[in-house]
């Protein structure tokens, strides 16, 4: 029973209940119908006896024809036999149901023997035969003695047959099996209909949840009822939508983590490669000085060079460590509403001074002010790296422009535009155009930084979900000259 499916289980429960009701109702009808019917007959019998007695008391002083009429009416209306002996006259009326000759003779004789009136004087008082009432399996008997208003003694005897009860009981034995069989057939039909009506929604929900188990994103319980099954299906749909959303978020987060791990591995590989060249150069110079080979015997001249290389080497390590510490999420830093003009004016002075020291013209146009919301320290890193990149890679006596325009901040610097094949890799760590020509034999990089500035800026802007562009531009009136433009859109 525990392993049976819902439909047959529900069918068996409902059919068993309906079959039990049918059996119990038929049994109650068979056993209690005769009892109830007999009780009703007894009540009717007593009531007829009382009414007839009162009526006979009133008419007994009249003619015999009148008494006979009353007795006949009661006998025919109630299907009983009535015997009346009053004033020496005897009236015996039998209902049609008892008009068999032998039965009539027996009943008449029984009535006559029961209805004999005896009158005698005893101490100045009349004595009558005692009233009686008798009930058998097939008949009800009663005999009542009374006096009329004129003092005449009368005897009223009633007989009611219970034969219809026994006939009905015998007939029920014949037709009850047919009604019971009909009831069981109806029980099967209604149990099938009810079981199908109840289990179909649950079966549909079960099939839908099976599709949900296989993560079918189109699976949905389609129950439009307002009952508990409808509420259950809606709860399942809501739960499944939440589950799909959670799974999608986990998938995106997993992809992001995998991408971050891959980027970290690439960064570490690039960092190790980037550190290898200056370390090798420094170690070679020191070894040559120690062994006094060639020009490196003049250690007083080359030792400061080594010190300078070690300083640049330390700066590079620090930048690599700073880049590796960035998680680019900034979840713990709250975003603030910032006016870009004041924000840029606060960052620019050191870079303007650096540009001037290199003979570079720096122009700022911050009149088109606007506000934006972002983590302040994150955006400071971005702008510092972008402006630093612009200043470092501007040609001598060139121009750097920093300006606000149309809800964006732009940094332009005059230089040779980067080729498209180099621009595709410009945001990779340690990448620089013309990488092989960017160093001298000592591992120095006279052309600028170490290729981390734009990498860090791009990573932060992507984490903050700000759109940005880094593209070449040309001056239309300067014979093909131009440079690079970095634009951040707020």
Q: Which pLDDT score, from 0 to 100, does residue 481 have?
A: 79
CA distance 23 to 187: 11
Q: pLDDT by residue (tens digit) across 127-154?
A: 446 788 888 777 888 898 888 777 778 8
Q: Which pLDDT score, from 0 to 100, does residue 328 have?
A: 53
The candidate with the shortest Cα–Cα distance to 384, out of 315, 452, 312, is: 452
Q: Which pLDDT score, from 0 to 100, does residue 400 have?
A: 93
Q: Which pLDDT score, from 0 to 100, does residue 442 have?
A: 42
Determine whether 481 is exposed, middle or buried from the number of CB atoms within 10 Å of its CB (0-12, 13-18, 19+).
Answer: middle
- Rg (the chain; Cα; Å): 59
Q: pLDDT by residue (tens digit) across 256-307?
A: 788 777 777 766 766 676 677 677 777 887 888 888 887 878 878 878 888 8
pLDDT at 106 over 90: no
Q: Which pLDDT score, from 0 to 100, does residue 445 have?
A: 46
CA distance 75 to 88: 21
3-state secondary structure the chain: CCCCCHHHHHHHHHHHHHHHHHHHHHHHHHHHHHHHHHHHHHHHHHHHHHHHHHHHHHHCCCCHHHHHHHHHHHHHHHCCEEEEEECCEEEEECCHHHCCHHHHHHHHHHHHHHCCCCCCEECCEECCCCCEEEECCCEEEEEEEEECCCCCEEEEEEEEECHHHHHHHHHHHHHHHHHHHHHHHHHHHHHHHHHHHHHHHHHHHHHHHHHHHCCCCCCCCCCCCCCHHHHHHHHHHHHHHHHHHHHHHHHHHHHHHHHHHHHHHHHHHHHHHHHHHHHHHHHHHHHHHHHCCHHHHCHHHHHHHHHHHHHHHHHHHHHHHHHHHCCCCCCCCCCEEEEHHHHHHHHHHHHHHHHHHCCCEEEEECCCCCEEEECHHHHHHHHHHHHHHHHHCCCCCCEEEEEECCCEEEEEEECCCCCHHHHCCCCCCCCCCCHHHCCCCCCCCCCCCCCCHHHHHHHHHHHHCCEEEEEEEECCCCCCCEEEEEEEEC
Q: Which pLDDT score, from 0 to 100, does residue 129 have?
A: 60
Share of the chain above pLDDT 90, in %: 10
CA distance 285 to 441: 11
CA distance 72 to 137: 25
Q: Which of 89-93, 351-355, 479-483 ranks highest by mean pLDDT?
A: 351-355
CB under 8 Å to 410, separation ≥6 — which residues?
401, 402, 403, 404, 485, 486, 487, 488
CA distance 310 to 93: 146
Neighbouring-strand partners of residue 371: 339
pLDDT at 343 over 70: yes
Q: Which pLDDT score, from 0 to 100, does residue 270 have?
A: 67
User: How many Cα atoms occupy the beta-carbon half-sphere of 319 within 13 Å?
Assistant: 21
- Lowest-confidence segment of 104-113, 249-258, 436-445 by average pLDDT: 436-445
How many other CB atoms sit within 10 Å of the CB of residue 451?
A: 23
pLDDT at 75 over 70: yes
Q: pLDDT by residue (tens digit) across 404-449?
A: 988 999 999 998 888 888 888 888 877 777 544 344 434 444 445 6
Helix orientation angle between 228-291 and 163-213, rounded to the nearest 10 degrees = 20
How many other CB atoms sit within 10 Å of the CB of residue 215?
A: 11
The token pair that represents 155 in the structure block: 């005897």
pLDDT at 465 over 70: yes
CA distance 103 to 31: 29
- The pairing of beta strand 399-404 with beta strand 361-365: parallel
Q: pLDDT by residue (tens digit) across 175-193?
A: 778 888 888 888 888 888 8
Mean pLDDT of 160-172: 73
How many other CB atoms sit within 10 Å of the CB of residue 167?
A: 10
CA distance 51 to 473: 127
Q: Which pLDDT score, from 0 to 100, does residue 486 have?
A: 94
Q: What is the mean pLDDT of the chain?
A: 78
Q: Band the pLDDT of 38: cuts 50, 70, 90.
A: confident
Q: Band the pLDDT of 114: cuts 50, 70, 90.
A: very low
Q: Which residues of 178-204 are buried (b: 16+ CB within 10 A; e: fewer)?
A: eebeebeeebeeebeebbeebbebbee
The candidate with the shortest Cα–Cα distance to 460, out of 322, 284, 330, is: 330
- Residue 472 phi/psi, 5-degree rounding, is -80, 160
Contact status, residue 378 vs residue 460, Cβ threshold 8 Å = yes
């Amino acid at each position: 029973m525990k392993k049976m499916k819902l439909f047959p289980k529900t069918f068996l429960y409902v059919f068993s209940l309906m079959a039990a009701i049918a059996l119990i109702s038929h049994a109650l009808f068979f056993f209690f119908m005769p009892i109830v019917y007999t009780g009703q007959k007894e009540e009717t019998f007593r009531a007829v006896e009382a009414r007839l007695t009162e009526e006979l008391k009133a008419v007994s002083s009249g003619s015999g024809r009148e008494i006979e009429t009353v007795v006949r009416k009661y006998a025919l209306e109630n299907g009983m036999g009535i015997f009346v002996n009053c004033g020496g006259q005897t009236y015996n009326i039998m209902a049609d149901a008892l008009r068999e000759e032998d039965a009539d003779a027996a009943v008449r004789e029984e009535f006559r023997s029961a209805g004999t009136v005896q009158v005698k004087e005893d101490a100045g008082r009349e004595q009558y035969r005692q009233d009686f009432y008798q009930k058998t399996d097939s008949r009800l008997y009663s005999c009542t003695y009374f006096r009329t208003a004129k003092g005449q003694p009368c005897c009223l005897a009633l007989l009611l047959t219970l034969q219809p009860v026994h006939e009905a009981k015998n007939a029920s034995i014949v037709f009850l099996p047919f009604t019971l069989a009909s009831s069981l057939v109806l029980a099967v039909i209604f149990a099938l209909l009810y079981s199908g009506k109840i289990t179909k929604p649950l079966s549909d929900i079960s099939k839908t949840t099976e599709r949900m188990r296989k993560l079918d994103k189109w699976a949905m319980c389609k129950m439009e009822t307002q009952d508990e099954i409808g509420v259950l299906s809606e709860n399942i749909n809501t739960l499944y939508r939440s589950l799909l959303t959670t799974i999608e978020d986990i998938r995106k987060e997993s992809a992001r983590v995998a991408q971050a791990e891959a980027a970290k591995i690439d960064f570490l590989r690039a960092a190790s490669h980037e550190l290898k060249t200056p370390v090798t150069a420094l170690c070679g110079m020191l070894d040559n000085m120690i062994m006094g080979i060639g020009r490196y015997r003049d250690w007083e001249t080359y030792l400061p060079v080594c010190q300078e290389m070690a300083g640049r080497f330390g700066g590079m390590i620090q930048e690599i460590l700073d880049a590796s510490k960035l998680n680019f999420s900034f979840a713990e830093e709250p975003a603030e509403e910032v006016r870009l003009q004041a924000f840029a004016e606060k960052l620019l002075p050191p870079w303007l001074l650096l540009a001037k020291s290199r003979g570079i013209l720096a122009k700022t146009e911050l009149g088109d002010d606007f506000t934006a919301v972002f983590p302040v320290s994150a955006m400071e890193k971005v702008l510092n790296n972008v402006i630093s990149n612009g200043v470092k890679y501007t040609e001598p006596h060139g121009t750097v422009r920093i300006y606000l325009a149309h809800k964006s901040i732009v940094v332009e610097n005059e230089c040779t535009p980067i080729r498209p094949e180099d621009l595709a890799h410009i945001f990779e760590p340690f990448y620089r155009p013309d990488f092989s020509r960017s160093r001298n034999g000592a591992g120095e990089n006279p052309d600028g930084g170490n290729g981390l500035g734009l990498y860090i800026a791009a990573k932060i802007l992507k984490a903050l979900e700000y759109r940005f562009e880094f593209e070449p531009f040309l001056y239309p009136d300067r014979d093909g000259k131009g440079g690079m433009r970095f634009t951040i859109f707020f």
